[in-house]
Amino acid sequence: MIKITDVAFVRFRAPDLDKMEQFLDDFGLMTVHRDESVLYSRGSDPEPWIHVVEKGEAGFAGVGFDAASPEDLETAAALPGASAIEELDGPGGGRRVRLSDPDGFSVEVIHGRAPAEVLPTPHAQPYNLGYERRRFNILQRVERGPARVKRLGHCVVRVSDFARSDEWYRSCFGLIRTDEVYLGEPENVVTAFLRCDRGDMPVDHHTFLCVGLGEPGFDHAAFEVEDIDAVMLGHEHLQNAGGYEHHAGIGRHVLGSQVFDYWRDPWGNVLEHFTDGDLLDAGVKTGSFDPAVALGTQWGKFAP
C-alpha cells in the first residue's frame, strides 16, 4: 500500500473546448496548454495543471492522485490491474500508473511533475474581528472578477457499492476516514469523508469521497480560493457572465466547515469554490453522523 499525498487533477471529456475554456476562465482557472484535442488548466499554486478536458463525448474521465516518491509509483504499478509506469501527458511532465476502480472509473497515480511558477493572487487585508481589531488606517478593497482558483481540494464520485469502493481506495492509497455518514443504524455507513494520512502534517478534512447512493458517476470536484471575499466575487462573476447554472450555495458546510459555492460547467459537471476548510492531522478520530448533519449547513442553503 502507498499513502497518496493529495488529489492531483480531474479529467473530463467535452465536445466543444472553446465553450469549456470560456467557462473555466469565468470559474477562475487558467489555460496552460490548448490544442485541437485537449485543454489543460491550472490554479495559482505550483501544480502545473489540475483540470484537463479531452475533446469527445461529454463525461467524467477520471481522477489523479499524487504519490510521494518514485518508489511509491513502483508499488502502485504492482497493484492488481495496474498499468506499467508510463509517461504522463501534459505540462510539467511526470510519470503515472493507471488503474480502474471497482466501478470502472479511471484512476491515475502520478509522480515527478515539474512545479510551475506560483502565480500572484489578490490578498485581502486582515479582517477586523469582533474580538480582535487587526486593520488600522488601511481600506478593505477587493478586485472584481473570477474567483482565482488556487488548487484542487477534493473529488467526489457516486459508486454502486460503497463498502467495496471505500475498501479499495483506503487499501490502495492509505486514505483514512475523517467522518462517516450512516443511514438508520450507525453501522450502515453509506459514505465516508476520506483524508490523506500524512502523520503529524495537517491535511484537508477530505480529499476523496465515495457516495454509496444513486447511480455511479461523477459527483463534484472542489477548488480552493483565497477567502470568503473570493467565493462571493466568484459567485457574482459567474452570475453576471450569464448562461451558467448555479447548483448550490453560498453556505458553510458542517462536515469540513468549508464556505462553499457550487456551479455546473456547460455539460452539467458540478465544480465547487471553497475556502476556510478544516485541516486535520492523522491523530483526529473518525466522526459518525446521520445524513441531516452531512448535508446540512451551518448557514446558507444546500441542495445536494
**Residue carrying C-alpha cell 502565480:** 119
Give the CA-trace dihedral at 88, 70, 32, 125, to 10 degrees. 150
pTM metric for this prediction: 0.96
- pLDDT tens-digit profile, the chain (304 residues): 899 999 999 999 999 999 999 999 999 999 999 999 999 999 999 999 999 999 999 999 999 999 999 999 999 999 999 999 999 999 999 999 999 999 999 999 999 999 999 998 887 789 999 999 999 999 999 989 999 999 999 999 999 999 999 999 999 999 999 999 999 998 899 999 999 999 999 999 999 999 988 899 999 999 999 999 999 999 999 999 989 999 999 999 999 999 999 999 999 999 999 999 999 999 999 999 998 888 889 999 876 5
Q: Is the dihedral of CA 252, 253, 258, 261 positive or negative?
A: negative
Report the alpha-carbon distance of residue 198 to residue 46 in Å, rounded: 20
CB 247 within 8 A of CB 301: no
| Other CB atoms within 10 A of residue 9 CB | 26
